[in-house]
Amino acid sequence: MKIPSYLKKVKEVNWTKEQLVQFQLDAKREWESGSVLGPVHLSKGNEEQLIEIFQYVHPDDWVFSTWRNHFHALLHGISPDWLMNEIKRGHSMKVMNKKHNFVISAIVGGPIPQALGVAMALKRKGSKRRVWCFVGDMAFETSEFHLCHKYAKNFDLPLQFVVEDNNLSTNTPTDVTWGSKQEVPDDVIHYEYERGYPHHGSGNWVLF
Amino acid sequence: MVDKLTKQKEDMQKFQETEMLKHLDLKYKNEIIRSMEWLAKKDDTIFLGQAVKYSGNAMYNTTKTVPEDKLVELPVFEDVQMGMSMGMAFEGFVPITCYPRFDFLILATNQLVNHLDKINIISEGQFQPRVIIRTSIGSRIPLDAGEQHTQDHTQAYRNLLKRVDIVVLDESDDIFPAFKHAYERQPLSKYDSLVTLLIEWGDHYNAK
């Protein structure tokens, strides 16, 4: 994983890999209890990459995420108690937190244009803050990514893309559907990982 | 038989034109211009779209008197434009996002229906972006712009949108109050959307 040289570390991350894994195990236990009446998308396998990336994410920056957002939320400073409560309420795939400038979308590519708009607003205001947009490998191949990456680059907007590549969109292999994958631009952070949990749920049968 | 059909067609056309003329209002375009000038005086407004700064369609004639630093001419990427408008609203701007024809607005349906219309619900009122969306039903008189430039999807959008306020600008006297209300109205609850879709009639422009 290459971090572009124009990015500087702005903080120490106070989460360890083990703590992140444990948080998801706790969420898994809640899910398997049958009391969570909504889909849950658990994270596993990308803890180290995200801990490194979030050293560059200022607490005042905006973070745009996806349905699989728990690690992003925790590493951006959102309280684990608050997040676990959201998961228990069945809100795993709609974690939104205005206080922390944290936005998600459960539509592939959905957050990308919104992230672009925030970046444009920040630039017009002369703000030093940055927008971080985390996308999966299928979203990386979409027109939304191409359009917004091009626009942000051409107008020098403070928008940083991170591609989290597990080569799966739900359970569809991205490279199979496209025949291949596009090259990663120099200004895009890209890492590969193996998904530690299924697309949603824990892999175990749950009775509701 | 042919003569009879031709006569029927002529009568129908005459009837349509007569009916249309009854509704033409010479104040229509000027009221839109007055509304845009009023909105342009607000510190937080910004005008986005294609042909807001450069000529190319009737809507351009209504933003000509808006200060240039308030106008952002965008490429043709309707869905990105809608998401971008939403993102700018997250940072406190009030975008007036312009789609010269309803036929083009439907290309922004993902961001409008899945995101902007639902953000208050998904975020439980944490995010209440104020966005003013302009579109126009393309004119048929004196030139008929054809099937891809004159569609009216008002009813379809009334079915699709749960929270967005949809206003059809039939009368000139309704225009300024409608834009003023779109800018000023306060939410009645945290689930109340501050997004307004204002639908203009291209044929009413042509009377000026």
pLDDT at B205: 85
Chain A residues within 8 A of B80 when measuring between CB atoms: 112-113, 116, 144, 147-148, 151
A156 has pLDDT over 80? yes
Q: How confident is the model at residue B45 (pLDDT cuts 50, 70, 90)?
A: very high
Q: How confident is the model at residue A161 (pLDDT cuts 50, 70, 90)?
A: very high
What does the pLDDT read at residue B40? 98
Q: Nearest by CB to A122, which of B84, B91, B126?
A: B91
Measured distance CA(A81)–CA(A86) in Å, rounded: 9
Cα A56 off chain centre by: 14
Cβ–Cβ gap A117/B88 under 8 Å: yes
pLDDT at B24 over 60: no
pLDDT tens digits for A94-142? Answer: 999 999 999 999 999 999 999 999 999 999 999 999 999 999 999 999 9
- Radius of gyration of chain A measured on its C-alpha atoms: 17
CA–CA distance, B195 with B86 (Å, rounded to integer): 10
Report H helices in chain B.
2-23, 28-40, 78-90, 102-105, 109, 119-122, 154-160, 172-184, 202-205
DSSP label of A141: T
Q: A34-52 pLDDT, tens per residue?
A: 999 999 999 999 999 999 9
Whether A126 and chain B come into contact, CB under 8 Å, resolves to no
Q: What is the pTM of this model?
A: 0.92
- Residues of B with Cβ-Cβ distance to A119 under 8 angstroms: 87
Each residue of B152-172: pLDDT tens digit?
A: 999 999 999 999 999 999 999
CA distances to A26, A88, A148, A190, B43 from A76, in Å: 19, 20, 23, 19, 31
Which of A114, A128, A133, A151 should we substitute to test contact with B (largest number of B Cβ atoms within 10 Å)? A114
Mean pLDDT, range A16-24, rounded to an integer: 98
- B150 pLDDT band, cuts 50/70/90, is very high
DSSP characters for A91-125? -GGG--BTTTTEEE-SSTTTHHHHHHHHHHHHHHH
What integer pLDDT is reported at residue B2 of this predicted model?
A: 65
Query: What was the pLDDT predicted at B25?
Result: 52
pLDDT of residue B17: 60
Q: Indicate the pairing of strand B94-99 with strand A168-169.
A: unpaired
Q: Helix or strand or coil: residue B139?
A: coil
Distance CA B103, CA B88 (A): 24
A97 CB neighbours in chain B (<8 A) are 126
State the average pLDDT for chain B.
Answer: 92
Span A44-92, pLDDT tens digits: 999 999 999 999 999 999 999 999 999 999 999 999 999 999 999 999 9
Q: Decide if A63 touches B, using CB distance below 8 A.
A: no
Closest CA to B100 of B131, B129, B73, B126: B73
Is the per-residue pLDDT at B180 higher than 70?
yes
Q: How many CB atoms lie within 10 A of CB B208?
A: 14
DSSP for B103-124? HHHGGGHIIIIIIITTHHHHTT
ipTM given for this complex: 0.95
Residue B104 confidence (pLDDT): 97
- Whether the per-residue pLDDT at B18 is higher than 90: the answer is no
Q: Which of B51, B67, B69, B115 is nearest to B89 (CA)?
A: B115
Of residues B2 and B39, which shows the higher confidence score? B39
Residue B1 has pLDDT above 80, yes or no: no
Per-residue pLDDT, averaged over B118-124, amounts to: 96
Which of A103, A110, A116 lies nearest to residue B84, judging by beta carbons?
A116
- Please tell me which residue of chain B has the smallest CA distance to A152: B84
Where do runs of H (alpha helix) occur along B113-162? 119-122, 154-160
Q: Which helix (H) or strand (E) holds B200?
A: strand B194-201
Q: What is the pLDDT of residue B142?
A: 86
Which position has the higher pLDDT, B81 or B208? Answer: B81
Q: Are strands A168-169 and A172-173 parallel, antiparallel or unpaired?
A: antiparallel
Q: What DSSP state is assigned to residue A76?
A: T
